[in-house]
Amino acid sequence: MAEGDLAVSEVLYWQCGWIDEYLNAADAGDATRMESAEAQLSTFPTLNAITTYAPEFAEMHQDIVVPILDGDLDSGRRWLDKSCQNYTNR
């Protein structure tokens, strides 16, 4: 295991959780929860584990999250199903 692997893994778990929360809130029509999840997701690129150990994930995050926030919820669901099964029980 390389230095920072655990920290990056934890942050990826965090990202999966907040994307899942955003999608669940959108499905429920809960704008308050959507805003809260969006606020959390916006911090991902600046989290210490990302800036220190995996800055390339900040760019990938934008490619994943921006379409979801722009209303492409299906792309978010597909990404979660492919990338976050271990985290979200999808």
- Please report, rounded to a whole number, the percentage of residues in the chain having pLDDT higher than 70: 96
3-state secondary structure the chain: CCCCHHHHHHHHHHHHHHHHHHHHHHHHCCHHHHHHHHHHHCCHHHCHHHHHHCCHHHHHHHHHHHHHHCCCHHHHHHHHHHHCHHHHCC
- Please report, rounded to a whole number, the percentage of residues in the chain having pLDDT higher than 90: 82
For residues 12-29, average pLDDT:
95
Domain with 29, as residue range(s), is 5-88
Count of domains forming the chain: 1
pLDDT of residue 2: 79
Note the pTM of the prediction, 2 decimals.
0.90
